Amino acid sequence: MSFTDKVVTIERHIIEEEQAHPGATGQLSAILRELTLAIKIIYREVSKAGLVNILGLVGRENIHGEQVKKLDAFSDEKIFQAMDHGGHLCVMASEEHEDIIPIPPQYATGKYVLLFDPLDGSSNIDVNAPIGTIFSVYRRMTPSGPGMLEDCLQPGYKQVVAGYVVYGSSTMLVYTTGDGVHGFTLDPSIGEFLLSHENIRIPSKGKTFSINEGNSVNWTDGMRRYIEHVKKDDKASGRPYTGRYIGSMIADIHRTLLTGGIFMYPADRKSPNGKLRLLYEANPMSFIVEQAGGRASNGVTRILDIKPTALHERTPLFVGSDEDVRICEEFLAGKR
Ligand code: AHG
Ligand code: MN
Ligand code: MN
């Protein structure tokens, strides 16, 4: 990663990425531009979330006569409204909807599929901790017309774009088109995402582990022994790993991407498939971390190789620095 001295907006960056691919039709760029607009609208709402009680808007109508919505429903709706009429998508699916979301019949359909988690870490809203939005784009499988379930159930290695936004002390958008990972920081005074982290690379080994230890009574032996391992003095640093868990996957993985280490949401006795969702959370974050030189698995298999069978399928997730994730896998397999 290097800090750049050029001033590059995300719009400019997307155009330049597109020009590097001679056959590009501009549709992916349009999708990213439309998403960026939705994200700015969500950012505006997130940044005033703490004022909602003071302004007395919850459960009442606002000045426009609209019911004030919970932030995840609001974000879900804004992404849909920004994306439904561009003519580039054939179908969408969101963590907030049980079924696939069709493109309204009055609009044209295109060759791409959009999957998203409109608001990740939503339990953190009330305590002013970082939350985020995650998106993932695929090429459609069906030939034409309205998209179907099978367009959404593709393995993660087929993603053509993945990205996330962290609404934190500053708001950052990080994305990949399969050609490196780039980060942009929102300058709210001009409403533009500016390139701040060009070509992010995750360290091959870190010093931090991130897991909800409250679930440890239900962990497998391998999981328990790996956590004991990271709490012993590390050969490289002479100190145990540091524990960090925000409880917002987006923020925990963002930190892991920039500084290295491992984020885990394992399977356990109570949740045999873990908690996180393959399509909206694990796949896009895994694509990004792999593109930055890291590793992502369900403990046994590469996340991006899993063939999904249901929209809301869950998966255990181990993601981060290549060496840390490999060692964790060895413990899980009982090899250490
Ligand atoms: P979401 O807000 O989209 O439902 O996701 C919440 C997820 C994820 O962000 C986080 O890592 C995890 O839930 C935290 O779960 P625990 O509270 O079980 O640790
Ligand atoms: Mn989520
Ligand atoms: Mn969510």
161 with 255, same domain: the answer is no
Structure tokens given for 134:
């995650």
pLDDT at 57: 47
Q: Which of 199, 188, 184 is nearest to 7 (CA)?
A: 184
17 with 142, same domain: the answer is yes
Does residue 1 belong to any structural domain of this protein? no
Q: Using one digit for the tens of pLDDT, what is the confidence trace for 298-324?
A: 999 999 999 999 999 999 999 999 999
Residue tagged 């019949």 (tokens) = 105
Q: Using one digit for the tens of pLDDT, what is the confidence trace for 185-222?
A: 999 999 999 999 999 999 999 999 999 999 999 999 99
Which ligand is nearest to the Cα of residue 252, counting in written order?
Answer: 1
pLDDT at 69: 63
Q: How many domains does the chain have?
A: 2
pLDDT at 158: 98
Out of 72, 123, 165, 219, mutate this one to test ligand 1's pocket (max ligand atoms within 8 Å of CB): namely 123
Does residue 87 belong to any structural domain of this protein? yes
What's the rounded Cα separation, in Å, for the pair 243 and 262?
A: 10
Out of 79, 246, 248, mutate this one to test ligand 1's pocket (max ligand atoms within 8 Å of CB): namely 248
149 with 16, same domain: the answer is yes
What's the rounded Cα separation, in Å, for the pair 149 and 90?
A: 11
173 with 247, same domain: the answer is no
Identify the segments of the chain with pLDDT beneath 50: 56-58
pLDDT at 56: 42
How distant, in Å, are the alpha carbons of 28, 141, 294 from that of 327? Answer: 37, 36, 13
Are 207 and 244 in contact by the 8 Å Cβ rule? The answer is: no
165 with 230, same domain: the answer is no
Burial call 2-34: b when 16+ CB within 10 Å, e when fewer:
eeeeeebbbeebbeebbeeeeeeeebbbbbbbb
98 with 174, same domain: the answer is yes
Residue nearest ligand 1's atom 14 by CA? 247
Expressed as residue numbers, the domain containing 275 is 208-332
What's the rounded Cα separation, in Å, for the pair 293 and 55?
A: 45
Task: Residue 1: count other Cβ atoms within 10 Å of its Cβ.
Answer: 17
Q: φ and ψ at 200, to 5 degrees?
A: -65, 130
100 with 55, same domain: the answer is yes
Residues whose CB falls within 8 Å of the CB of residue 106, separated by 6 or more in sequence, listed in order? none
